[in-house]
Amino acid sequence: MTILEKIAENAQKHPRRPAYYYEKPAGGGYKGDGEIPCHKARSISWGDLDEQSGRLAYYLDKSLGTRTPVVVYGHKDPLMLVCFLACVKSGRAYCPIDVSVPSKRVDAVIREVQPEVIMATEELSLSYQQILFAEDIHKIIETAAGAAARERAVAAQDVFYIIFTSGSTGVPKGVQITRDCLDHFIEWGLTLGSLLETEEGEGCVFLNQAPFSFDLSVMDLYLSLYSGGTIWALDRKIQGNMRELLASLKRSRAAVWVSTPSFAEVCLSDPSFGEAVLPDLRTFLFCGETLANRTAQRLLEAFPRAEVVNTYGPTESTVAVTGVTVTRELAGEVNPLPVGKARKGTWIFIMDEEGNLLPEGESGEIVIAGDTVSAGYWNAPERTGQSFGSMEIEGRAYRFYRTGDRGYQKGEQLFYCGRMDLQIKLHGYRMELEDIEQNIMKLPGIRRAAVLPVRRGGQVRSLSAFVAAEEMPKDAFAESQRLREALRRFLPDYMIPKKFVFLESLPLTVNGKVDRRVLGGDIL
Ligand code: AMP
C-alpha cells in the first residue's frame, strides 16, 4: 500500500486518534514554580488531518496553474503537516523550510524553487507575490468546496518532497525524492525495530526531534503516518531547556525515539534521563552521524527494555539505507560500531577514485545504488550528473549516488570512516566548509577564507575561520565580533565559526588552492 493510501485508511479506522501533537512554548518559561511549562498544546486528529489536507489540496488543485513545488515555511505547528499532505494530494512536491533557516538562505531556496505559492505557518518577513499565512490557510480549509480527487495525488515517479542540503558552492542543493523512493524507504523502516513489526507497534508515539527541513524528520513523520501512530513534535526552544525537555518527554509517552546521536547525548547529560522519564520507550532510531559505543551503552543501561538501532544514509538516498541493532555485546566488542547492513533494494559498493570496486575490508568511497536513490538535484542537471548515474543490477536499471563518504564492508556490515570532501557534521548538523567560506567571502573587506573543524576526541567540536582581509584589523576581537554578526544574516548559528584568525594571506598548494593541511593539520 502506498503512503497516501495508508494515511486515508488510518484516518478511516481511527479518526479521533491524535496524529500529531505539539507543545508550542508561550515564551514565558514556567508557570510559577510548578513542573508544567507555559505552552499551548496543538494537536490534530487523524480525521482532521485527512480532511483538512484534502480540502487544502482541492484549493491548490483548482487555483494554481502549474504543478511546481510548494515551499512550506514554519516550525512544528500541526498545520505544517496539513500543508505537506495537501501538496502531495494535489500532485505537487513540497519543500519544507524551518524557521531556524536565516532569511537570506530562505530567500536563496525560494529563488531556486520558484514556487507559484508559499505557505507559511509562522511569520515570514520576505516580500513574495503569493504567500498564504496560517489564517489564510485556515480560511481556505473552512470554505473549500470539497476534497481533491485521489487521482490528482503524486504518482509513483512524481517528486514527493524536496529537501535542501548545504551545497559546496554556497548555493544549497535541493534533493528530489519521489513517492516511490519514500514508499520503499517506509517499507524497510518499519522493519528496523522489533516493536514496529508487531501489532503493539500500531498506533504508538514517535518522537520528532529534527526540524522538517532535515531529512531525519522523514523517518519519524512517515513511519508514524504509515503505522497509524502519533507524532510527538519537540519545539526547538523546549529542546534547548533541559527541564522543559524532560517534562515534555515524560508527557509524550513515546515508544519510538528518532534523533541524531548528539541529541540523545544531550539528554544523557541529565542523570534522571531513563526509563522513569520514558517508560514506554522501546526503540531508539539513530541516523545522521557517528553513534559512539559509549552512547549506545549508556542508553541500553538507562533503558534496559529498549533497542538501539544505528542507521546510515544521505538525504540523496532517502533518509537511510543501512541499519543495525546495537546490542550490548556489539557495543562492547566492536569499536567503531558498524552502520549496518544494506536494506533489500539497496546495493552498497566501495570504490576507489577511478571507480573500481574495492575488495572487502578496503576503504574507499561509499556508492549507493537502488530503489530509494533520488531523481537528482532540483534544477541542477550538471550537479546531478556529477554525483548520480544509472547502473544495471540483476537485469534492472537502478540509480546510484556517489556519497563522498568513506567506508568499508566486513561481511554484510558497512563501516563509516568519514567524509572524502569537506562536508562535516557539527552537533548533528551537516554542512560543507566551502559553503561557510563562500559566505564569509561575501562580506566586505574579505579576500579569502578557509574554515576548519576543530576536533577533540575524534569529534568536531567547533569551527575556526582563517581570513585574509584587505587590511589587517587593529582589534582582532572586535573584528571577529563584527564578522560573526554579519554572518548571522546568511548562515544558521551552528555554521558560524567560533574563532577567527586574521592572516596577511592564506597558504596555497601547488594547484593554487588553499592549503588546509598547513592551516589545520588533519582536516580530511
Ligand atoms: P544528511 O544528508 O544531512 O542526512 O547527511 C548525510 C551524511 O551524514 C552522510 O553522507 C554521512 O556523512 C553522515 N551520516 C549519516 N548517517 C551516519 C551514521 N550512522 N554514522 C556516521 N555518519 C553518518
Query: In this predicted model, what pLDDT tens digit does every residue of 196-248 receive, in sequence order?
Result: 888 888 899 999 999 999 999 999 999 999 999 999 999 988 988 999 999 99
> Which of 416, 417, 459 to mutate for ligand 1's pocket (most ligand atoms within 8 Å of CB)?
416
Task: Tell me what pLDDT residue 170 has.
Answer: 63
Same domain, 398 and 438: no
Is residue 372 helix, strand or coil? coil
Q: How many percent of the chain have pLDDT more than 70?
A: 95
Evaluated on CA atoms 314, 317, 319, 320, the torsion sign reads negative
Is residue 49 domain-shared with residue 189, that is, in the same domain? Answer: yes
State the total domains in the chain: 3
Domain boundary among 419, 451, 485: 419
Whether 69 and 188 map to the same domain: the answer is yes
CA distance 404 to 408: 13
**432/386 same-domain check:** no
Largest pairwise CA distance in the chain: 69
Q: Which atom of ligand 1 is nearest to the CA of 418?
A: 12
> Are 266 and 316 within one domain?
yes
**Do 375 and 258 belong together in one domain?**
no
Q: Both 280 and 251 in a single domain?
A: yes
Q: Which atom of ligand 1 is nearest to the CA of 404?
A: 10
What whole-number percentage of the chain has pLDDT above 90? 71
| pTM across the whole model | 0.86
Is 227 in the same domain as 369? Answer: no
CA-CA distance, 75 to 79, in Å (whole number)? Answer: 10
Q: Is ligand 1 within 6 A of the CB of residue 401?
A: no
Q: Whose CA is nearest to atom 4 of ligand 1?
A: 314
Instruction: Judge whether 144 and 58 are in contact, CB under 8 Å.
Output: yes
Pairing outcome for strands 429-432 and 423-426: antiparallel
> Do 95 and 13 lie in a common domain?
yes
419 CB near ligand 1 (under 6 Å): yes
- 287 C-alpha to ligand 1 centroid (Å): 7
Q: Read off the pLDDT of each residue in 417-442 and give the average, rounded to a whole number.
A: 82
- The answer, yes or no, to whether residue 73 has pLDDT greater than 90, is yes
> Which of 430, 431, 459 for a ligand 1 pocket mutation test, highest count of atoms within 8 Å of Cβ?
430
What whole-number distance in Å separates Cα of residue 434 and Cα of residue 449?
Answer: 9
Across 48-62, 256-270, 398-412, least confident range? 256-270
Out of 333, 362, 390, a domain closes at 333
- Name the residue range of residue 434's domain: 423-520
Q: What is the rounded CA–CA span in Å between residue 59 and residue 148?
A: 8
Please tell me whether residues 171 and 272 are part of one structural domain.
Answer: yes
pLDDT classification of 27: cutoffs 50, 70, 90:
low
How do the residues of the chain divide into helix, strand and coil, expressed in percent and rounded to 5?
A: 35, 30, 35
Q: Where are the alpha helices (DSSP H) in 164-215?
A: 179-189
Q: In this predicted structure, what is the pLDDT of residue 422?
A: 78
Asked if residue 391 and residue 431 are part of one domain, the reply reads no
pLDDT tens-digit series, residues 284-328? 999 988 788 888 999 999 999 999 999 999 999 999 999 999 999
pLDDT in tens, 137-161: 999 999 998 999 999 999 999 999 9
Q: What CATH number corresponds to the domain at position 373?
A: 2.30.38.10
Instruction: Give the list of residues 6+ apart from residue 18 with CB closer than 8 angstroms, or none.
Output: 43, 44, 45, 46, 230
Is 110:131 a contact under the CB 8 Å cutoff? no
Q: Which of 419, 449, 465 is the last residue of a domain?
A: 419
Beta-bridged to residue 347, according to DSSP, are 369
Is beta strand 283-286 parallel, antiparallel or unpaired with respect to 256-259? parallel
Q: Indicate the top mutation candidate among 286, 312, 335, 426 to test ligand 1's pocket, ranked by most ligand atoms within 8 A of CB.
A: 312
Residues 415, 454, single domain; the answer is no
Backbone dihedral region for residue 431 (phi beyond 0: left; psi -120 to 50: alpha; all else: beta): beta
Q: Which helix (H) or strand (E) holds 159?
A: strand 159-165
pLDDT score of 417: 78
The CATH number of the domain holding residue 487 is: 3.30.300.30
Q: What CATH number corresponds to the domain at position 304?
A: 3.40.50.12780
